[in-house]
Structure 1
Amino acid sequence: MTPMAPVTAVTVVGLDAAGAPPHPALAPVLATAGLVVGAARHLAAVPVPAGADTIVLGPLAPALRRLAEAVDAGVPAVVLASGDPGLFGIVRRLRAAGLPLRVVPAVSSVAAAFARAGLPWDGAAVVTAHGRDPRAAVNACRALPLVAVLTAPGAGAAELGAGLIGWSRRLLVAEHLGAAAERIRAVTPEQAATETWAEPHVLLSLADGAPAAPSDAVPTDAAPDRVAPGGMRADNQPAAAPAGGWALPEDRYAHRDSMITKSEVRALVVARLRPRLGRLIWDVGAGSGSVGIECALLGAAVLAVEQDPEAGATIRANAAAHAVHVRLVTGRAPAALADLPEPDAVFVGGGGVDVLPAVVARRPERVVLTLAALDRVAPAVGLLRAAGYTVEGSQLSAARLADLPGGSIRLAATNPVVVLTGERQ
């Protein structure tokens, strides 16, 4: 049997974002390359052999087609990229196109930014705002204590800073990493929002309790209406599922006069809100904060709105006890909702049908209500449907085991609650 010829792999080489010389493997690879693909600045930075064809990256489709042809013809091809091309880089697109790859990474811009700042980053979340709605990156910075953001024009430090006003965050902006014009600046969200930043740049977002910023960092004062206890887990990352679970018993939260969403109801409410990293959840009429806190445990950014200052203090204490970040807005809804950032989902507790028009006016994807009074169900359904939402509803009634004298067991009923979910199509 004739052995099959080895498949020619495309070599993807990262050029060091920290400014170091190109990887030693690049020179021999380039010397035999018949096709070299990269951005104009990358092609200008390396000695492309005279006989090689070059493609300047813009639209990716023509480059993918030429690379596939090179692989089929056995022509050595090289793709030049920034930093580590496997970190939100071109490797994903090349793999999706079915190309065989050999990857030679360099120091990524994220690693270089943390190194320049003198900060550890083994617990950081790394997200990108490139080519997508920047709200997800903003919400990650709102939710987590240590986040690196790969930015893009129109989704950079100015836009991210504007979205973080009201959250206790320190921002480090790394411009022109590895170039002569390199600059690392520590700013507040307010300062970031008012400046023009050089492209490309990397943004690091640090909450209170995250590793200390460099000595020239601009301090931010924690406002009294913010909860930022400092970490989600020991490594600063949200678990895919919290180690302690969710739908926790009521005794895991401080609360007043049993004014707390019961665990059985909370399980359904949190499921309907679909919290995850990159989403912003409003918890309106937060009470003990249990619903919002469990959304934060699942990685979402959370705004808790509560009119009672005493309840606000309870929310702070509960958020600290569960080591999550929840921003507290003290005020009466619907007026308190006016200047809040756009939510992905909203929970309205405490039977607040009067709040519903202001909530649906903001067009969140999902609205979840809990109602104990039956006469409020039909008006709430009508309001949601009139605003273009499809509505599902369930009445939940649980009976819990309770001990009787003499060792017997009975069932103790909890108050029935109607859970409504509106979903915008």
Structure 2
Amino acid sequence: MADRVTVIGWDGSPLTDTARAALGAATLVAGAAHHLALPEVPHAAERIRLGSLTLAARRIAAHRGTAVVLADGDPGFFGVVRTLRAPEFGLEVEVVPAVSAVAAAFARAGMPWDDAQVVVAHRRTLRRAVNVCRAHPKVAVLTSPGAGPAELGLLLEGVHRTFVICEELGTAREQVTVVTSDKAPDHTWRDPNVVIVIGGHTAAGTAPEGGGWIAGRDPAAGPRGWVQPDERYAAPGDAGSVTGTGHGTGAGSGTGPRLGEGETQLLRAAQLARLGPRVGDLVWDIGCGSGAFATEAARAGAAVIAVDHDPGACARTESAARRHGVLLQVVRGAAPHVLENLPEPDVVRVGGGGAAVVSAVADRRPQRIVTHAATRDAAERVGRDLSEHGYRVECALLQSVELDTRAWTETERNVAFLLTGVLADRAP
């Protein structure tokens, strides 16, 4: 039985001496069709066309002889090495790497990629890969059949992006094409391919001139804190209240810029904690008001669609996103009707619209829904509706009191019933 396997990366360049020696001694070679057609593959070797990596690994482990696996690019980067190293196969893995497909794609585009997000798109992960493309200005997508450039373009409807599509890198049929995302579904693309997705303004967290310190988005970029003070979301020069569409819970006479009622910093922090938006998620923020919650969710790396019927709220949300260097989509319209054509959400905050909107959201079956109410009766109505939709309901009465620390006197008091619905069959 084989206890050792050599994995050779191939990027179209001539094989190294080490790779040639390993391949020449192989009695079993596994790879894609174009790998098995290489002239260096021994004629007498058993050949396995890679489909299921698990099945291939079992055959390699059971083989009596010397095994080699050929893979595109760097096989340790979203490649076969992880599968082959699983303890159940008992294989010792030696790797001869090559240039990864992602590095080659960015090289063809003449772009740096240390500030890019890298995702793999299969049929089961396509939606999450698209959400990363919504939320980040530079993404490399390693595609697969049925989850390629055309499917990416279709799911990005309403969001403008530029695609750099690199087909069959390293081969004589290599081709690099630049198209807008809405045009990608009009073509048939050859596999394998890598799609570089570019779009939106420069976001906070991209590498500064001269390079950054961490690959991908810098988690330390921007101001410290999971949520920002309300004044950071007031329009520049606005010292008064920013009226949102959320249902109000505020009271008191606080000074300085204020957001709409129900948009306080502490309530927003509690809502974010309950929803837990993360990279790959799509968040709906219904009744976005000032854009504070939508911006905070986008700062967490999630894709966000902010919805409001008020054109002023939409403009404030777009402005807040620009100031904080995040990408999000703003949709103007009245809920629940405007929600019908939106892509499926993972988590939803309902900031306005009451029980009717919460019910319409629950019909779409997101993992979590968070909302708030000003009275116990309203909270009970929403809670009952969420329960009837199969959600486990949690409710907390939140009260915050702002104090002037010079005299330790109360300046503002806010009270809200915070409701969270968790869908049992989709809970992570």
* Fold-level similarity (TM above 0.5): yes
Look up the SS of the partner of 2:195 in the other structure: strand
Give me the whole-angstrom Cα distance separating, in 2, the residues matched to 1:76 and 1:293.
55
Instruction: Within 5 Å, give how 1:36-75 maps onto structure 2.
Output: 36-69=29-62, 75=65
Structure 1, 150-159 or 241-250: larger mean CA deviation: 241-250
Give me the whole-angstrom Cα distance separating, in 1, the residues matched to 2:219 and 2:123.
25
Look up the SS of the partner of 1:416 in the other structure: strand
- Give 1:136 deviation, angstroms: 0.5
Tell me which amino acid in the other structure corresponds to 1:79.
V
For 2:319, which of 317, 320, 345 is the aligned residue? 317
Give me the whole-angstrom Cα distance separating, in 1, the residues matched to 2:414 and 2:271.
16
Instruction: Report Cα offsets for 1:107-152 as digits up to 9, x if no partner.
Output: 2222222122222212111100125331000000000000011111
Give me the whole-angstrom Cα distance separating, in 2, the residues matched to 1:287 and 1:27.
63
- Give 1:420 deviation, angstroms: 0.8
Structure 1, 177-186 or 296-305: larger mean CA deviation: 177-186
Query: Which sections of structure 2, spanning at least 5 residues, go unmatched?
Result: 208-214, 236-241, 243-257
Give me the whole-angstrom Cα distance separating, in 2, the residues matched to 1:266 and 1:47.
61
Query: Which sections of structure 1, spanning at least 5 residues, go unmatched?
Result: 1-6, 209-228
Distance 1:299 1:21, change over 3 A: same
Say if 2:28 is the partner of 1:26: no
TM-score (normalised: structure 2) = 0.85
Structure 1, 385-394 or 395-404: larger mean CA deviation: 395-404
Look up the SS of the partner of 1:28 in the other structure: helix
Matched residue, 1:225: none
Give me the whole-angstrom Cα distance separating, in 2, the residues matched to 1:56 and 1:422.
47
Instruction: Report Cα offsets for 1:352-373 as digits up to 9, x if no partner.
Output: 3231222122221111112223
Say if 2:272 is the partner of 1:258: no
- Give 1:62 deviation, angstroms: 3.8
Number of paired residues? Answer: 391
- Give 1:77 deviation, angstroms: 2.4
Matched residue, 2:385: 383
Say if 2:203 is the partner of 1:190: no
Matched residue, 2:134: 142
Give me the whole-angstrom Cα distance separating, in 1, the residues matched to 2:163 and 2:354.
37
For 1:201, which of 189, 193, 197 is the aligned residue? 193
Tell me which amino acid in the other structure corresponds to 2:226.
W
Give me the whole-angstrom Cα distance separating, in 2, the residues matched to 1:123 and 1:64.
34
Q: CA RMSD in A?
A: 2.2
Look up the SS of the partner of 1:319 in the other structure: helix
Give me the whole-angstrom Cα distance separating, in 2, the residues matched to 1:152 and 1:184.
17
Distance 1:62 1:316, change over 3 A: closer
Matched residue, 1:212: none
Say if 2:6 is the partner of 1:11: yes
Distance 1:131 1:307, change over 3 A: closer
Matched residue, 1:419: 418
Q: Is the 8 A contact 2:162 2:181 kept in 1?
A: yes
- Give 1:194 deviation, angstroms: 2.9
Give me the whole-angstrom Cα distance separating, in 2, the residues matched to 1:185 and 1:363.
38
Q: Is the 8 A contact 1:161 1:190 kept in 2?
A: yes
TM-score (normalised: structure 1) = 0.86
For 1:103, which of 65, 81, 95 is the aligned residue? 95
For 1:301, which of 298, 303, 319 is the aligned residue? 303
Distance 1:242 1:346, change over 3 A: farther
Instruction: Within 5 Å, give how 1:128-167 maps onto structure 2.
Output: 128-130=120-122, 132-167=124-159
Look up the SS of the partner of 2:335 in the other structure: coil
Tell me which amino acid in the other structure corresponds to 2:9.
G
